[in-house]
Chains A and B, each alone.
Chain A
Amino acid sequence: MSDLAVDRDIDRSKMQVSDEVAIEISNMNKWYGAFHVLRDINLTVNQGERIVIAGPSGSGKSTLIRCINRLEEHQAGRIIVDGTELTSDLKNIDKIRSEVGMCFQHFNLFPHLTILENLTLAPIWVRKTPRKEAIETAMYFLEKVKIPDQANKYPGQLSGGQQQRVAIARSLCMKPRIMLFDEPTSALDPEMIKEVLDTMIELAEEGMTMLCVTHEMGFARQVANRVIFMDQGQIVEQNEPEEFFNNPKSDRTKLFLSQILGH
Chain B
Amino acid sequence: MSDVSFVRTEMLPEQDPPASSVGVVGWMRENLFSGVWNSILTVISGVFIFYTLYGLLSWAMVPTWAAGSLNECREILHNMGREGHLAGACWGVISERWEQLMFGFYPNGSEEGTADLRWRPVLAFVLLIVALAPVLFADKVPGKLIYLSMAYPFLLPFLLWGGSIWSPIAVAAGFGVGYAAYRVIDGVAGSLAAVIGSVVAAILWWLFLASPVAGLLADIIPLGLEPVESRKFGGFMLSITIGVVAIGLSLPIGIVLALGRQSDLMIVKSLCVGFIEFIRGVPLITLLFVASTLLNIFMPPGTDFDIIMRVFIMVTLFASAYMAEVIRGGLAALPKGQYEGADSLGLNYWQAQRLIIMPQALKISIPGIVSTFIGVFKDTTLVSVIGLFDPLNLTNAIRADSNWNGIVWELYGFIAVLFFIFCFSMSRYSMYLERKLRTDHH
Where the two chains meet, the residues of A that have a C-beta atom closer than 8 Å to any C-beta of B are 69, 71, 90, 94-95, 97-98, 100-102, 104, 106-112, 121-122, 125-126, 154-157, 170-171, 174
Report whether B345 and A104 are in contact in the complex, using a CB–CB cutoff of 8 Å: no
Q: Which A residue sits closest to B348, measured CB to CB? A: A94
When distances are taken between beta carbons in the complex, the residues of chain A under 8 Å from B442 are 157
Tell me how far the C-beta of B352 lies from the nearest C-beta in chain A, rounded to whole angstroms. Answer: 10
Given contacts A108-B340, A155-B439, 19 further A-B contacts (CB under 8 A): A90-B348, A94-B346, A94-B348, A98-B345, A100-B344, A101-B344, A104-B340, A108-B338, A111-B439, A112-B363, A112-B439, A121-B355, A122-B347, A126-B347, A126-B351, A154-B440, A156-B441, A157-B439, A157-B442
In the complex the two chains form, what is the Cα distance from A107 to B351 in whole Å?
A: 20
Residue B83 lies at the interface, judged by CB distance under 8 Å to chain A: no
Residue B176 lies at the interface, judged by CB distance under 8 Å to chain A: no
A106 in contact with B337 given A69-B344, A112-B359 (CB within 8 Å): yes
Residue B228 lies at the interface, judged by CB distance under 8 Å to chain A: no
Q: Which A residue sits closest to B344, measured CB to CB? A: A102
A125 in contact with B351 given A71-B343, A112-B437 (CB within 8 Å): yes
Report whether A122 and B346 are in contact in the complex, using a CB–CB cutoff of 8 Å: yes
When distances are taken between beta carbons in the complex, the residues of chain B under 8 Å from A156 are 439-441
Interface residues of B in 184-223 (CB under 8 A from A): none
Q: Which A residue sits closest to B442, measured CB to CB? A: A157
In the complex the two chains form, what is the Cα distance from A239 to B442 in whole Å?
A: 48
In the complex the two chains form, what is the Cα distance from A112 to B356 in whole Å?
A: 8
When distances are taken between beta carbons in the complex, the residues of chain B under 8 Å from A171 are 344-345
Report whether B340 and A97 are in contact in the complex, using a CB–CB cutoff of 8 Å: no
Tell me how far the C-beta of A13 lies from the nearest C-beta in chain B, rounded to whole angstroms. Answer: 30
Report whether B355 and A125 are in contact in the complex, using a CB–CB cutoff of 8 Å: yes
Residue B384 lies at the interface, judged by CB distance under 8 Å to chain A: no
Residue B252 lies at the interface, judged by CB distance under 8 Å to chain A: no
In the complex the two chains form, what is the Cα distance from A41 to B346 in whole Å?
A: 25
B345's contact among A95, A106, A157, A174, by CB below 8 Å, is which? A174
Residue B341 lies at the interface, judged by CB distance under 8 Å to chain A: yes
In the complex the two chains form, what is the Cα distance from A144 to B340 in whole Å?
A: 25
In the complex the two chains form, what is the Cα distance from A110 to B440 in whole Å?
A: 12
In the complex the two chains form, what is the Cα distance from A110 to B355 in whole Å?
A: 10
When distances are taken between beta carbons in the complex, the residues of chain B under 8 Å from A101 are 344
When distances are taken between beta carbons in the complex, the residues of chain B under 8 Å from A97 are 343-346
Tell me how far the C-beta of A171 lies from the nearest C-beta in chain B, rounded to whole angstroms. Answer: 8
In the complex the two chains form, what is the Cα distance from A125 to B351 in whole Å?
A: 8
Report whether B345 and A126 are in contact in the complex, using a CB–CB cutoff of 8 Å: yes
Tell me how far the C-beta of B284 lies from the nearest C-beta in chain A, rounded to whole angstroms. Answer: 34
Q: Which A residue sits closest to B440, measured CB to CB? A: A156
Interface residues of B in 359-418 (CB under 8 A from A): 359-360, 363
When distances are taken between beta carbons in the complex, the residues of chain A under 8 Å from B344 are 69, 71, 97, 100-102, 104, 108, 171
Q: How many residues of B contact A (CB 8 A)?
A: 23
B340's contact among A71, A94, A174, by CB below 8 Å, is which? A71
Tell me how far the C-beta of B40 lies from the nearest C-beta in chain A, rounded to whole angstroms. Answer: 43
When distances are taken between beta carbons in the complex, the residues of chain A under 8 Å from B341 are 104, 108-110
Tell me how far the C-beta of B99 lies from the nearest C-beta in chain A, rounded to whole angstroms. Answer: 46
Report whether A111 and B360 are in contact in the complex, using a CB–CB cutoff of 8 Å: yes
Tell me how far the C-beta of A241 lies from the nearest C-beta in chain B, rounded to whole angstroms. Answer: 27
When distances are taken between beta carbons in the complex, the residues of chain A under 8 Å from B441 are 156-157
Tell me how far the C-beta of B128 lies from the nearest C-beta in chain A, rounded to whole angstroms. Answer: 28
Q: Which of B351, B355, B360 has the most CB of A within 10 A?
A: B355
B356's contact among A98, A110, A157, A174, by CB below 8 Å, is which? A110
When distances are taken between beta carbons in the complex, the residues of chain B under 8 Å from A109 are 341
* CB-based closest 7 A-B pairs: A98-B346, A108-B341, A156-B440, A122-B345, A154-B439, A108-B337, A97-B346
Tell me how far the C-beta of A252 lies from the nearest C-beta in chain B, rounded to whole angstroms. Answer: 30
In the complex the two chains form, what is the Cα distance from A106 to B334 in whole Å?
A: 14
Q: Which A residue sits closest to B437, measured CB to CB? A: A112
Q: Which A residue sits closest to B336, measured CB to CB? A: A108
When distances are taken between beta carbons in the complex, the residues of chain A under 8 Å from B359 are 112
Tell me how far the C-beta of A186 lies from the nearest C-beta in chain B, rounded to whole angstroms. Answer: 14
In the complex the two chains form, what is the Cα distance from A71 to B341 in whole Å?
A: 10
In the complex the two chains form, what is the Cα distance from A154 to B355 in whole Å?
A: 16
When distances are taken between beta carbons in the complex, the residues of chain B under 8 Å from A122 are 345-347
Tell me how far the C-beta of A176 lies from the nearest C-beta in chain B, rounded to whole angstroms. Answer: 10
When distances are taken between beta carbons in the complex, the residues of chain A under 8 Å from B360 are 110-112
Q: Which B residue sits closest to A111, measured CB to CB? A: B439
In the complex the two chains form, what is the Cα distance from A104 to B255 in whole Å?
A: 29
In the complex the two chains form, what is the Cα distance from A194 to B335 in whole Å?
A: 27
Q: Which of B335, B340, B345, B442 has the most CB of A within 10 A?
A: B345
In the complex the two chains form, what is the Cα distance from A121 to B355 in whole Å?
A: 8
Q: Which A residue sits closest to B357, measured CB to CB? A: A110
When distances are taken between beta carbons in the complex, the residues of chain B under 8 Å from A69 are 343-344
Q: Can you spell out 16 A-B residue pairs with CB atoms less than 8 angstroms apart?
A: A71-B343, A94-B348, A97-B344, A97-B345, A98-B346, A108-B337, A108-B341, A109-B341, A110-B341, A110-B342, A110-B356, A111-B360, A126-B347, A155-B439, A157-B440, A157-B441
When distances are taken between beta carbons in the complex, the residues of chain A under 8 Å from B335 are 106, 108
Q: Which B residue sits closest to A98, measured CB to CB? A: B346
In the complex the two chains form, what is the Cα distance from A97 to B360 in whole Å?
A: 23
When distances are taken between beta carbons in the complex, the residues of chain A under 8 Å from B343 are 69, 71, 97
In the complex the two chains form, what is the Cα distance from A106 to B360 in whole Å?
A: 17
Q: Which of B356, B359, B439 has the most CB of A within 10 A?
A: B439
Tell me how far the C-beta of A212 lies from the nearest C-beta in chain B, rounded to whole angstroms. Answer: 15
When distances are taken between beta carbons in the complex, the residues of chain B under 8 Å from A108 are 335, 337-338, 340-341, 344
Tell me how far the C-beta of A67 lies from the nearest C-beta in chain B, rounded to whole angstroms. Answer: 13
In the complex the two chains form, what is the Cα distance from A107 to B340 in whole Å?
A: 10
When distances are taken between beta carbons in the complex, the residues of chain B under 8 Å from A107 are 337
In the complex the two chains form, what is the Cα distance from A97 to B343 in whole Å?
A: 7
Tell me how far the C-beta of B189 lies from the nearest C-beta in chain A, rounded to whole angstroms. Answer: 15
In the complex the two chains form, what is the Cα distance from A171 to B343 in whole Å?
A: 12
In the complex the two chains form, what is the Cα distance from A111 to B355 in whole Å?
A: 12
In the complex the two chains form, what is the Cα distance from A38 to B343 in whole Å?
A: 22
When distances are taken between beta carbons in the complex, the residues of chain B under 8 Å from A102 are 344
In the complex the two chains form, what is the Cα distance from A126 to B345 in whole Å?
A: 8
A104's contact among B337, B347, B351, by CB below 8 Å, is which? B337
A121 in contact with B437 given A108-B340, A112-B360 (CB within 8 Å): no
Tell me how far the C-beta of A219 lies from the nearest C-beta in chain B, rounded to whole angstroms. Answer: 22
Tell me how far the C-beta of B133 lies from the nearest C-beta in chain A, rounded to whole angstroms. Answer: 23
Report whether A126 and B346 are in contact in the complex, using a CB–CB cutoff of 8 Å: yes
Report whether A110 and B338 are in contact in the complex, using a CB–CB cutoff of 8 Å: yes
